[in-house]
Each structure stands twice: as C-alpha cells, then as structure tokens.
Amino acid sequence: MNGVDLAYSQIDTDFNTLVQHVDFCFIKVTEGINILDSQFSHNRQGARGVDLARGYYHVARFDINSPLAEAEWFMQWVGSNLQPGECVGLDFEPANIQAMLANHIDPVQAGKAWADFILEKTGAHTFIYGDISNFKEFNWATIGGCPLWVAGPSYPYTSPIPNFPYQYVIQQYGTTTVPGVNGPVDVDHVFGDRTLFESYGVPAPVQSLPSTESVQVPVVTPVVPTTTPTVESVQTAPVQATEPTTVVTTTPQVVPEPVVNNQTNISETNTPNVQDKASTLDSIQEISNSTLNTSPQQSTGFWEQIWNFILTFIGVRK
C-alpha cells in the first residue's frame, strides 16, 4: 500500500481526490505536552469520510518531558475517539534524539514507556518512526511488538534497505506531490495490505454471542381445593370379609394291628366279649352232653350245629 503522512504544512487536503491516489495516511496530532497540530481535526474528519486507512502520530520531545506526560497529552485528543483499525505512531526526529542523549535519556526505554501506555489504553501497537542511523545506533528490538516505520528516502522501497538490522513494516521513501494535497508531502509504503496495517491498530471489540432474552413466565399461585379431589380408578367389587379358616390338625387314629390267631384273622370289632364267650362255652357243653345220649343220625346233626355255631362265633357267618 502507498500513502502519505500529513501535518500542519499540508493545508486543507482534498480527501475525495487523495483517496483516488493513495491507500492510507498518517496524520500528525501532537508534539511534546502542549502542541496540537492545526490540521488534525480536518485531516481526521476527511480521512474517515472517504474510509481511507489511517493512523495518528505524536512527535516525541522526551528530552524535556516525561514519556507518560506526552502519552496522556496525545490521548487527550485521540483516545476517546479512536476507531477499530486506526493506528498509532511515535515520531523520533533525529534532532530530538540527540537532545535526549545530551540529557542522558535512553530513547528506546522512553519510547517503550510511551508505547506501553498506549497499548494499555487503546490496544494498539505503536509504529516507531526514525531514520536509518538512529535505528542502527540503538537496540530497538527491546520494544517488543512495536512495528518499525523507517525513514529511508535514499532507498527505493522495492528493495530492502542494505544492512538494516530489523524488520520494518513501513518505509518512508521520499517527498513528492500527490493530487489532493497542497504542496509537497512525504510518501510512504506499507509492505502488506490494509488488513496487515490495521492489525497493529485499535482492535475491534470482541463479538459476544447475542443475548437471548429470557421469557418471563408469570408466577401462578396454585389454588388449593377445599374438597378431596375425585380420583378416577378402576371400580372393583368390594371384598367380602370371610371367616378365617381354621385348619384343624388331627392326629390320625392308629388302628391296632389285627391279632393273628393261627389261621384266621379275627377282627376286634366282630369278636364277642368275654361274657358271650363264657355263654357260648356253656352252650357247647350243654349240646355236647345231650349229644352223647343220641343216635348216630342225631349225632351228625349235633356236630353240624357245633360247626355252625363255631363259624358264627368267629364271624364267618352272621
């Protein structure tokens, strides 16, 4: 990208014309603790109006002021109105560096204090501007994260600056006239596109997830019923109460084994009692006595009677 750096000496720049010839501009804002560039407001408004990539720079006078006091002066004019992608620059002019050295001030440490303050307040990484000799004389690598903007008008930007010890993002390669700018102007080249340039600037705000409005659910106080609610259920017949069943456990009656009387089993239930036996024996004796006085035919009848009686006695006949 090609661009210009603008200050009070470029009066009333026409940005509608300028934007057709350059890709970005660096605009001077302040110097020391009491100088405000007279063209700052016009240049910022014009650059924003045509959406030209842009940055704002401060000229360091750390030989007479503290870095933090100058940073606060700068922020007083730009801090509350910086937009995402807008960059910040710190200009170390050779004469001012020599004045710092005369006062035993390390320009690198002073520059770091200024840049750290800006980073904390804005999130932007400061472009450090200086000429080749000053960059070679000091160890600017200790300003971590700060891109370099090198004044090297003796070298075309199409080739690297010989023996330059650091990488650099912008080279100021000369002074010329540019349509839209009144008078001569310093011209610069960014070794990259607008995205790279703006990546050193004020970061865009973090995009948070869209908030989901919660649905307000009205609180309903439940109505407590005054009667017991009816519960639907399967209707079943009422259970009839029954008398409890008592299980009587009885000891089985043991029937005595029948007495074996030689050949014949005599059931106890059919056995005559003792009196019957005595009576029977008397009858047998009576029959026997009468039989002795009878004839053989009568005797046969007698024994038949005896036999029948015996069978009746033992229960064979009833």
Q: Note the pLDDT tens digit of each residue in 187-236.
A: 999 999 999 999 999 999 876 655 545 445 444 454 444 444 444 443 44
Check: CB of residue 139 under 8 Å from CB of residue 117.
Answer: no
* pLDDT at residue number 175: 97
* pLDDT at residue number 141: 85
- The C-alpha torsion from 109 through 98 and 58 to 142, rounded to 10°, is -20
* pLDDT at residue number 271: 43
181: closest CA among 49, 10, 28, 56? 10
Provide φ and ψ at 150, rounded to 5°. Answer: -100, 130
* pLDDT at residue number 314: 67
Q: Which residues pair with 215 in a beta bridge?
A: none
Q: Which residues pair with 190 in a beta bridge?
A: 170
* pLDDT at residue number 252: 42
Predicted TM-score (pTM) of this structure? 0.66
What are the pLDDT tens digits along the chain (318 aa)?
999 999 999 999 999 999 999 999 999 999 999 999 999 999 999 999 999 999 999 999 999 999 999 999 999 999 888 999 999 999 999 999 999 999 999 999 999 999 999 999 999 999 999 999 999 999 988 888 899 999 999 999 999 999 999 999 999 999 999 999 999 999 999 999 999 999 999 999 876 655 545 445 444 454 444 444 444 443 444 444 444 444 444 444 444 444 334 443 434 444 444 444 445 445 545 544 554 454 445 555 666 677 676 766 666 544
* pLDDT at residue number 70: 98
Check: CB of residue 124 under 8 Å from CB of residue 202.
Answer: yes
Provide φ and ψ at 54, rounded to 5°. Answer: -150, 160
Nearest-angstrom CA–CA distance, 316 and 4: 154
Instruction: Set out the domains of the chain in order of their start, with CATH numbers.
Output: 2-199 (3.20.20.80), 264-314 (no CATH)
Nearest-angstrom CA–CA distance, 189 and 82: 23
Nearest-angstrom CA–CA distance, 236 and 59: 100
* pLDDT at residue number 206: 73
